[in-house]
Homo-oligomer: A and B are copies of this chain.
C-alpha cells in the first residue's frame, strides 16, 4: 500500500493539486463535474488528507494541549470531559500531558521549583508540537502565580487559582454561603466549620462565605466552632470528635470536603450520635462514595464539567481572537441527601 497524497489524486483525476485542495476544503468554487471526478478518485483510493502537511502550510494545528497535574485525581476526568465536549464541537483535538505529580516518588509539593520544571517541560513539548493553546488543570487548588512561560500562546488555568492569568474557577465563597443558608433554612444556628488547609485559596474563600453568611443571618460567630483540617478522612474524624465534645456542641457542621465529612460521620456514630437527627453535616465535592455511605452525605457538587467547557471556551476565544472575555464563574450545586435535618433542639 503505497502512500497516496494529493498529487496522486490530482494525477488520476486529471486536475491540478490546487483543484483537489479546493474540493477538499471548499475553499473555492469548483465545477460540479470536476468536483465529482475528484471526489470519486478520493473515494476509490480511500484517501485521507495528511494533517501534518496541512498544518505546516496553514499554520493551524487545531490542537490544544491539556496539562493535568494528575489525571487519576477524582475531579480531573470530568473536567477533561468538559474540555473535550467543547473542543469536539469546534473540531479541536487534545494533546494530553499528565504530570503524574501524585505518583512521582519523593515529590515535594511545597517546593514550587520542583514541579516548575516538570510543568515548563510539558509546556515546551506541547509548544513544539505547535498546539494553539494550553489548558492547565491543577489538582489541589493552589496558587500558581503565572509561573509558566507559554511564549505568547494563550493558556487558561482551571481548578487552580492563577493570578494575572485567565483562570476558570467555581465560586467558592458563594458555595460556602449557600451551604450555610441551606442549614439556616433548616433551622440551624449553631453551625461549625471544618476547613481544609488554610494555605489553599479555596479554603480561605469558603471560610469567607461561611463568615459572611453568619453575619448576614445574624448568627453568633464562635471561635470554638472553627476547625482546620488537612483534607484527610482522619482529620475530619478527629476534628468532628472535638466539636462534639464541646459543652455546647454545634448542631451542624460544614465540612470542606467529603473525605473529612466521612470521617466526621464515623466520629459521630462512635459517640452514639445519629446523623442527621443529632448532627447535620454538609460536605463538599460530591464524591461517588458520598452517595453510598449511610446516611448519604448532603454535599456541594462541583461544576467540573462546566469548568472544562468554560475553560475550553475561554481558550478557544483567545485562539480565534474573539475578544469577548466571557469568563463566567460556574456555581456549585447542593446535592441533598440524608445527612441534614433540622436541629434536635428545634424538634423538641
Contacts and interface: CB of A to CB of B under 8 A. Distances in A.
B71 A61 contact: no
A327 to B, nearest CB: 24
A97 B63 CA distance: 12
A81 B52 contact: no
A93 B129 contact: yes
Contact of A287 (B46, B71, B151, B288): B288
Contact of A98 (B81, B128, B233, B293): B81
Centre residue among A50, A61, A72, A293 by max chain B CB count within 10 A: A72
A56 interface: yes
A201 to B, nearest CB: 25
A55 interface: yes
Q: Size band of the A side of the interface?
A: 35 or more
B56 A84 contact: no
A49 B52 CA distance: 15
Contact of A128 (B51, B56, B78): B51
Contacts of A56: 50, 52-53, 56
B292 A51 contact: no
A245 interface: no
B81 A103 contact: yes
A52 B54 CA distance: 10
A182 interface: no
Contacts of A78: 72
